[in-house]
Amino acid sequence: MAAGTCGTLKPGQGPQDPFTFTAVVPGVGFTDVSRLPLARMTFSHRIDPTPAGSRFTHKVVISGPLSRLFARVIGRNVAAGLPVSMQKLARLAETTPAAIG
């Protein structure tokens, strides 16, 4: 995983969604961007240590001329899917060995 790397997500009930990692800080977090017509969605993911373990923060920002429209049309679905997506990402992080070097 590195800034500039591209990939594709397939939401359960939506079309394939190409994205690009725009920032990656190993062991800390990453940011990726998906483009929409006249808008873009920026997803920021961060993990911070806490006395009880870790806190995972996920932020989504929709920007651009049609951001209000997309916020109304897909914003609720994105928000509703966050808990499950974050649980899956946390499980993956807990079971995947960290790269060394």
For 22-53, the pLDDT digits (tens) are 999 998 999 999 999 999 999 999 988 889 88
The reported pLDDT for the residue numbered 101 is 45
Say yes or no to pLDDT of 64 above 90.
Answer: yes
Decide: 47 and 56 in contact? Cβ < 8 Å.
yes
Rg of the chain taking only CA atoms, in angstroms: 15
Domain ranges of the chain: 18-95
In SS3 terms, the chain reads as CCCCCEEEECCCCCCCEEEEEEEEECCCEEEEEEEECCEEEEEEEEEEEECCEEEEEEEEEEECCCHHHHHHHHHHHHHHHHHHHHHHHHHHHHHCCCCCC
Q: State pTM to two decimals.
A: 0.78
Alpha-carbon distance of 44 to 65, in angstroms, equals 21
The reported pLDDT for the residue numbered 99 is 55
Say yes or no to pLDDT of 19 above 90.
Answer: yes
The reported pLDDT for the residue numbered 37 is 93
Residues 6+ apart with CB under 8 A from 61: 41, 42, 44
Q: Output the CA torsion sign for 73, 10, 17, 14.
A: negative
CATH architecture of 18-95: 2-Layer Sandwich (3.30)
Q: What percent of the chain has pLDDT over 90?
A: 47
For 68-100, the pLDDT digits (tens) are 999 999 888 888 888 887 788 778 777 766 654
